Copies of this chain bind each other. A is one copy, B any other.
Amino acid sequence: MNIGDTNKDRTPTLADVARFAGVSTATVSRCLNSPDRVIEETRNKVLKAVRELGYAPNFNARALAAKRTNTIGAIIPTMENAIFARGLQAFQEELGRNGTTLLVASSSYQTDLEEEQIRTLVSRGADGLLLIGYRRDPKVYEFLHRQGVPVVAAWVFDPDADVPTVGFDNFLAMKMLAEKVISLGHRRIATITAATQGNDRASERLRGILAAMTEAGIPENDLSIIETTYGIDEGGVALEKLMTQQIRPSVVMCGNDVLAVGAIAKAKELGLNVPADLSVTGFDDIEIAKISSPPLTTVHVPHRRMGKEAARALLNMVGTTGGRTKILLETTLQIRESLAQHTD
């Protein structure tokens, strides 16, 4: 192989481009990263070479040298349903507008898996991380801190948390819904929730129901609680269990819309009329809530705004520009047919 040959059987590198354009590798690099720091003539020469050779920069080499990836990682509990889809979409869009790429991983609601994913994303050089929920082993935050990786916790709000939170008050949101439920005359309340262990969104929501009951003078023990994994089928199974108990609830408050829709489907299957025989509520207000029959009464969460604000917060943290990093969003009750008055 003669000197000056541009390697033909290997994917082209910066050096190949430099040789082809007759400049140094430094110049090529500059052309790509700060085009204004190079005179137009050479720039054109270089860009032509880039096109000619079909050069694509090696991300890993770049990350290694620059210690920056323009990449932000997000770990969400599940991709199986649409709960996080909308928020994540907005998150990604906002990152994209700022030239940052999103890396997603899902933890299947498993703490250990999440920790593994965190390590993976960090070792891949993520400039920052989006996590869902705040409560987790302090070691995790210590690790992230040591590695100098900024984090934002979303889907929750806690001004006292060690890391910025962008989200809403799960406790208050569910409490408001429970108050509405109670005001409609319901006393025999049941709930289908995700495992509350290690899931602050779920446990806060449960706390919300209990608080509303207490304030209304209903004994906390009257609440039937079923913990299950999120899923349409799981919601159905849970509902069946509830309806075979001694005291059948007049309303089932579900931890999210997916469970609620599953519960409604099963209720109908059991010959129950929703909401005449049984009211059902959800949480999230994702698309299926609207098309459910009957349409689902639920808590509307501003998913898109949350995603966008979380991205902004994170971009602020990885960059130098300061900005708000603790953001509380409002939820609203979305009253639809699945919840009705109760009279004994």
Provide the A76-115 mask, 1 if CB < 8 A to any CB of B, else 0: 0001111001101100100000000101101000000000
Within 8 A of B (CB), among A284-340: 287-288, 290-293
Q: Is the CB of B146 within 8 A of A11?
A: yes
- Give the Cβ gap from A78 to chain B, nearest Cβ, in Å: 9
Closest residue of B by beta carbon distance from A122: B56
Q: Is the CB of A59 within 8 A of B125?
A: yes
Say yes or no for A60: interface residue by CB 8 A criterion.
yes
A63 to B124, CA, bound (A): 10
* Segment at the interface with B among A22-30, A163-171, A178-186, A260-268: A260-268
Closest residue of B by beta carbon distance from A235: B291
- Give the Cβ gap from A5 to chain B, nearest Cβ, in Å: 17
Q: Is the CB of B291 within 8 A of A232?
A: yes
Across the interface, which residues of B come within 8 angstroms of A59, CB to CB?
60, 120, 123-125
Say yes or no for A148: interface residue by CB 8 A criterion.
yes
Q: Is the CB of B82 within 8 A of A86?
A: no
Across the interface, which residues of B come within 8 angstroms of A64, CB to CB?
58, 60-61, 64
Say yes or no for A136: interface residue by CB 8 A criterion.
no
Across the interface, which residues of B come within 8 angstroms of A81, CB to CB?
82, 85, 287
- Give the Cβ gap from A312 to chain B, nearest Cβ, in Å: 21
Across the interface, which residues of B come within 8 angstroms of A120, CB to CB?
59, 101
A11 to B144, CA, bound (A): 10
Q: Is the CB of A85 within 8 A of B80?
A: yes
- Give the Cβ gap from A139 to chain B, nearest Cβ, in Å: 10
Closest residue of B by beta carbon distance from A117: B101
Say yes or no for A147: interface residue by CB 8 A criterion.
yes
Across the interface, which residues of B come within 8 angstroms of A268, CB to CB?
293
Within 8 A of B (CB), among A32-85: 54, 56-61, 63-64, 69, 79-82, 85
Give 12 new A-B contacts, CB below 8 A, not counting A56-B119, A232-B287, A265-B291. A60-B61, A60-B64, A79-B79, A79-B85, A79-B89, A80-B82, A80-B85, A80-B89, A81-B82, A81-B85, A288-B288, A293-B293
25 contacts between A and B (CB under 8 A): A11-B147, A54-B146, A56-B122, A59-B60, A59-B123, A59-B124, A60-B124, A60-B125, A61-B64, A79-B89, A80-B82, A80-B85, A81-B85, A92-B106, A101-B120, A103-B103, A232-B287, A261-B288, A262-B291, A265-B290, A265-B291, A268-B293, A288-B288, A291-B292, A293-B293
Chain A positions within 8 Å of B, measured between CB atoms, are 11, 54, 56-61, 63-64, 69, 79-82, 85-86, 88-89, 92, 101, 103-104, 106, 119-120, 122-125, 143, 146-148, 232-233, 261-262, 264-265, 268, 287-288, 290-293
State the 7 A-B residue pairs at the shortest beta-carbon distance, nearest first.
A265-B291, A60-B60, A60-B63, A59-B123, A59-B124, A293-B293, A232-B287
